[in-house]
Amino acid sequence: MPMSMRDELRRILTIISDLTHNDINSSIKDTNIIAEANRQSEEIEKDLNELQSLGLINEDRSSPADVNYKMYKITREGINEIYNKEFR
């Protein structure tokens, strides 16, 4: 059963979905997500953490430790959430 989600979270999930082309193997930089969302980075980080706790995105831990950004991947559940909302 699809869950109810705040509009801000759905927007961030949609941005990630669009930027990764719904490919669960593609990663996107958090800086690209923040730029696309056009909101304060602190707010986006909270949303990313919440989406991650819901299992809709995952942090890609394969990026080097000395970089100033995080990489995120959409999960199958995240794709399903976007799909379910669009076709209700």
In this prediction, what percent of the chain has a pLDDT beyond 70?
89
Task: Say if 2 falls within a structural domain.
Answer: no
Mean of the per-residue pLDDT values of the chain: 88
Residue 3 domain-assigned (yes or no):
no
The CATH number given to whatever domain includes residue 20 is 1.10.10.10
Q: Is the pLDDT reported for residue 2 higher than 80?
A: no
Residue pair 43/50 in contact (Cβ under 8 Å)? The answer is: no
Separation between Cα atoms, residue 28 and residue 12, nearest integer Å: 12
Phi, psi dihedrals of residue 68, rounded to the nearest 5°: -100, 25
The pLDDT value recorded for residue 37 is 95
Mean per-residue pLDDT for 48-52? 97
**Which among 19, 22, 30, 20 has a CA at the least distance from the CA of 86?**
22
Structural contact between residues 71 and 29, judged by C-beta atoms closer than 8 angstroms: yes
pLDDT band at 6 (very low <50, low <70, confident <90, very high): confident
> Which domain, by its residues, includes 82?
13-86
> How many domains does the structure of the chain reveal?
1
**4 pLDDT more than 70:** no
Q: Is position 6 within any domain?
A: no
Q: Is the pLDDT of residue 66 over 90?
A: no
